[in-house]
Structure 1
Amino acid sequence: MTPTRRTAVAAVALAAVGAGTALALAPAAGADEDLRLTTTATASTDLDLGVPGPGPGDTQVFLDEVRRDGRLVGGMTGSCTVALSTEERLVAACTATLLFDDGSSIATQGAGDEDPQVGPTEFRWAVTGGTGRYAGAEGEFVGTFVPGTDTVEVVVRLR
């Protein structure tokens, strides 16, 4: 998987930067609120496991910058593992964690299902938990890939 072809895995690694500013730049979203973010791939490693070429078990580990309103507010890290790879369909299971500058985090998990000829367009994962100001978080993590880039527009819908 290349960064622009990553399945719903894409936007998931937050590197801690500058303590304290995240509270002002990315305030906690309360219940039934949306947190709008943009992720951009900064690093990835593709592991070609098993038979050479795309196939089950292949994994991509990634790190993304996370921004809100154009300001860097953290990072996201995660991985996606291919479950099925054919000419018509690529399915992967993914986990990712957003890590905000104040140390708070949001954990996500889901699957990506795409047409490899088209590449990823969007994904919808579960928010499975959080720490700090997001302790006990649940909801949805929805991403839309920006065509021709390594950028994903993300909406975190907390319930």
Structure 2
Amino acid sequence: MMKFLIVILSLIVLTSAEWKPKSREQMKQFRVECVRDLNLPQNIVDKLNRQEYPENNEYVMEYILCGARKSELWSDNEGWLSERILRLLGNDKTLNKEEVRSVIDGCLDDNSQGSSLQEWCFRNFKCLADSKLRGLMRGMMQKLN
């Protein structure tokens, strides 16, 4: 009986802890917090507002990682959480869900090369941003400005 109760309680906790996409207001707040917490220079903020993501820029890599963590799309152990990204982008009418999944799977890696978290997060983000998902991602990001 005790084991059964523990299993039921565990299922309740797991169900209530299920991830949900963040609202536009939450995402805007995460953006403000990341800019503030990372003390980003204005020229970097301006580039990010234009959706420009210069390569090998520590500020930009930190910002992408900060936003990914706050939105719960990133795990420091697993990297980008593909199922959550699919939930965000997979309902678009221009691409079918399998196309979106294929792009996501092609961009996300397990960091077998041992890059820093910032480099790993940015590399995968950049791949997604430069893929056929670019329009979807740009649309989402524009809503945050």
| Pairwise same-fold verdict (TM > 0.5) | no
**Bigger Rg, structure 1 or 2:** 2
- Larger strand proportion, structure 1 or 2? 1
- Larger helix proportion, structure 1 or 2? 2
Scaled by the length of structure 2, the TM-score of the pair is: 0.29
Scaled by the length of structure 1, the TM-score of the pair is: 0.27
